[in-house]
Amino acid sequence: MEKGKKEILGIGCDIGTMNICCARSDSEEIKITRNVFLPVDRENINISELTSINYVETGDGNVFIIGDDAFKFANIFGKEVSRPMQKGLISPKEINAIDILSLIIKSLIGEIKDKEVYCAYSIPAESIDEGRSITYHEKVFSRILGDLGINHTAVNEGLAIIYENCSNEKFSGIAISMGAGMTNCAVAFKGIEAVKFSTSRSGDWVDNEVSKSLGLIQNRVTSIKEKYLNLEESYTAQQDKKIARVIEALQFYYSSLINYTIKKIISEFKEKVEVEISESLPLVVSGGTSLPTGFLNLFKTSLSSYSLPFQISEVRQPKNPLTAVSQGLLIRTMSDVKRLK
């Protein structure tokens, strides 16, 4: 490196409704934290008691347990965890959302002193079944990263999956990113985005419907889903009847979600998409909602029941559906940096 020239650092930051993932060019580790928080009453607890717990303190003196610790404490005490984001976008209901998100992102990104930093961060596509604009969401995260002195670019999360998973096809493919808040769909040809849109149903929709059906708090449903859900075996395999009942409901709503998503994608292509896809493309299904065992087979089985307006060469998942977006964003960042040199 030339004397006096700063080291270049690339970052891919996937800002998801349930998880925030951060990949750096100087490390193979991808840092992940749950995008949740739990307020702590300062009058009832000393900060020293939180030394082994992941927490943040805002400028106005409020203290919040964050990440997995917040999720665990909420379940232990039967409380609903607070969420900075809702349906893929910054929550309008949480007054502390932006402060919490700023602190979580700063912590995940880590040390950047004396480095020239470039970051691609994820944004959803506009929803075809939900009226909210993504403009405010995109600009807030632009401001957060700008305040940290980071050069930044907003990238659709579906396109990021294609960057991560379709290099053998010269970055041509169809991506379906099923996170917690939204399901994003993107189509790209040789790295150029041709189509993008989202739907408002994904993992949170499943958990919320099960929660309402069974009278449970939503994060309790999420916890059971993450620990026990297997879409290839009957709910009766669970000996605990309470858990079995939740698993049964989860299986019902997972099937409903997948069919809803496929129908919306077909409808969007037939009615609004002017792009003619003349070749078979891989369809990549990713995101935290796609993690349960048997998801890919269930998706393939459901897909086979429909006549698609495009040809699919195969349906596959990334090696790690939870970190695929952050890895794809890092690929985009380093490509941009290379072009700038």
Domain ranges, ordered by start, for the chain: 7-163+322-340, 175-316
Across 129-155, average pLDDT: 93
Predicted pLDDT at 247:
97
Across 30-48, average pLDDT: 78
Q: What is the pLDDT of residues 80-110, one digit of tens each?
A: 888 889 889 998 888 888 988 998 999 999 9
Higher pLDDT pick, 48 / 310: 310
Equal CATH topology for 7-163+322-340 and 175-316: yes
Which CATH homologous superfamily contains domain 7-163+322-340?
A: ATPase, nucleotide binding domain (3.30.420.40)
- CA 86 to the chain's CA centroid: 11
With CA atoms as reference, report the closest residue to 21 among 165, 134, 91, 122: 122
Identify the weakest region by mean pLDDT among 53-62, 243-252, 281-290.
Answer: 53-62
Percentage of residues in the chain having pLDDT higher than 70: 95
Identify the weakest region by mean pLDDT among 76-80, 167-171, 245-249, 273-277.
Answer: 273-277
Higher pLDDT pick, 55 / 85: 85
CATH architecture entry for 175-316: 2-Layer Sandwich (3.30)
Query: β-strands 312-316, 55-57: how paired?
Result: unpaired
Phi-psi region of 195 (alpha: psi -120 to 50; beta: other; left: phi over 0): beta
Query: Is pLDDT of 332 > 50?
Result: yes
Query: Is pLDDT of 48 > 80?
Result: no
Q: What is the mean pLDDT of the chain?
A: 90
Tokens of 60: 């106005």
Q: Does the global pTM surpass 0.85?
A: yes
Residue 157 banded pLDDT, cuts 50, 70, 90: very high
Across 123-137, average pLDDT: 91
Query: Is pLDDT of 1 > 50?
Result: no
With CA atoms as reference, report the closest residue to 283 among 177, 139, 151, 141: 177
Query: Is pLDDT of 57 > 70?
Result: yes
Predicted pLDDT at 60:
72
How many other CB atoms are there within 10 angstroms of residue 29's CB atom?
10
